[in-house]
Structure 1
Amino acid sequence: MESAQSLNKSLLHGFREEQIYRIDHYLGKETVQNLLVTRFSNGIFEPLWNRNFIHHVEITSSEDIGVGSRGGYYEGSGALRDMVQNHLLLLASLVAMEPPALINADSMRNEIVKVLQSLRPIQKEEVEKFVLRGQYTSSEIKGKRRKAYREEEGVNPKSRTETFLAMKFYIDNWRWAGVPFYIRTGKQLPTRVTEIVIHFNATPHHLFAGDKAIMRQQNQLVIRIQPDEGILMKFGMKVPGAGFHVQDVNMDFHYSELNNTYLPSAYERLLLDCMLGDATLYSRGDAVEAAWRFVDPILKAWKEQPCIKVHGYPAGTWGPEESDQLIEGVETWRYPCKNLSGDGEYCEL
């Protein structure tokens, strides 16, 4: 946070805030922007988008590769700085923000800042309870050996840098009070995927509780950022035949169906906006500082308390098993596949 404040102060010596364009390519992704349209242009979603109907929110961003030649950079960064402080807290802010008065730079960024300022601080003594870090170890996948992180070029053989992070946090405002948000990111996981999952509350009366699994089922809205971009709704339907046996079914939409429209790359879109003087999809200084204010105690706890564990996980798995303990109740993380279509029927990695 201190270096972010120093940088912002230095920039403001030469420029006004409205002249500064802090680029984050995640905001240039079409599916990230569509999250706002999904929420605010559909009467079927926004009335449910609050603590009364949503059980928890889950955000996953996984990569199926290691650090490669970026080991020197990653040693000083780790997953928390590389992915969470910027990209994933930004996605959480777009999920949680209030409707802006207008779709313009000031209105949009005001609402994002409000969310970041509402994050419940994780105190240094609470870090082990709310944050879990891991580091990939060597394994063999399809007959090919994968290196451990500590074997990568430019990495300290005794490194405690996290390549996996799972976090639980709360947003203390009227809309989200008591709703847990879960973030997970890592390298050398089974597949490359970024998605947001809205888990709705279960029905208050388990009318079809003959099938015990149904008691644990919840409706889910899956917003896939990459790959196989699209939206998936999961809900229960009766299995044909006698009795009332229920199973999850999918209703999905894929961006590939809109293949007659040219979609610019994320950086292409953002650089054009900058040239046009439109800062709507750019981060503002107070938002950057608010994100660092939330993240800093975690970094300091890791530095000051070397006893906080770094869990090993074999390359090609979904991270340390202990990450499931962050999720409240009987739920667990959703383990996504590369494919969005056919979800639950087959899994492409």
Structure 2
Amino acid sequence: MNPLSLPVLRLIGDGRLHSGETIARQLGVSRGTVWNALRDVNALGVTVHRVPGRGYQLVEPIHWLDAREVGQQLARAGVPLEVQVLDCVASTNTELLARAAQGASHGLVLAAEVQTAGRGRAGRPWYAVLGGSLTFSLLWRFDHGVGALGGLSLAVGLATARALEALGARGIELKWPNDLMHRGRKLAGILVEVQGDALGPTATVIGIGLNIRVPTELAVRAGQPVADLASIMDGRPDRNRLLAAILIELNSALERFAQEGFAPRRAEWDAMHAYRDRPVRVVLPDGRAWEGVACGVGENGELILDTVHGRYRFSAGEVSLRPAVEAGGGR
């Protein structure tokens, strides 16, 4: 990405027409440099109209993230999290893991306007749109070891779903172990990564990617059905309000998780389970597949699967879940 792309987009982000000469003067560059900065911004999911002799105009205005605005909303709710907004980073999770190793404080949040190498589960890429996505990571330090964090991604998913429902999103479901869905389409993904010892303490980085407005070309690149908040709510939500609402709910959920674990949230999660009582296929990392009926989750967040050979449990992070045409036996 051209290093001047975001500065130029910030200047024209209101959706009004801006002359190339004015933009160039504000940035102290040539008009040709401005043209080059905007040449490939469609890769970011935005469209700029070039009006000969008059200038540039964004088809849709960009509502930029504002750390100060989010921080004020958190302060009013008594939530002591620190929010930083980065213009461009490879991955908020990768950056925050590096900072955690260097002693970054508990409760640090990194949100990004652009990720060049966003990551989902199992190393899959996460695609985002400038102004049309919300991607952020939260550092949470636990006294517990890794073994005590079973069900954490499920608790995070549930908290995120609660926040979205409070803002007016309806019909959200949870796909084990780390996705939010709407009518069979992916709305958000969660990536939890942990540093620390088996007995603790641990530094946990919780990354969330949420679709707000997904253009057709990005939906095709995603390689799976995707949903966005703009299509399931009345209008596109304010990203700063959205980020603050999710962080407020997450802060409360993680404080409870540190004291109680996942078990008290089990029934609530099951009530939103996208594949509850449906035939599914569980694929293990080694390629083996098990088929059966998903009948809920355990107290530590493990998936419970009924097969023709009996009941089995699969731990979060070790399997993927896919709909099956018919339930069958494990193999």
In the superposition, the TM-score normalised over structure 1's length comes to: 0.25
Higher strand share: 2
- Larger RCO: Structure 1 or Structure 2 (Cα < 8 Å, ≥ 6 residues apart)? 1
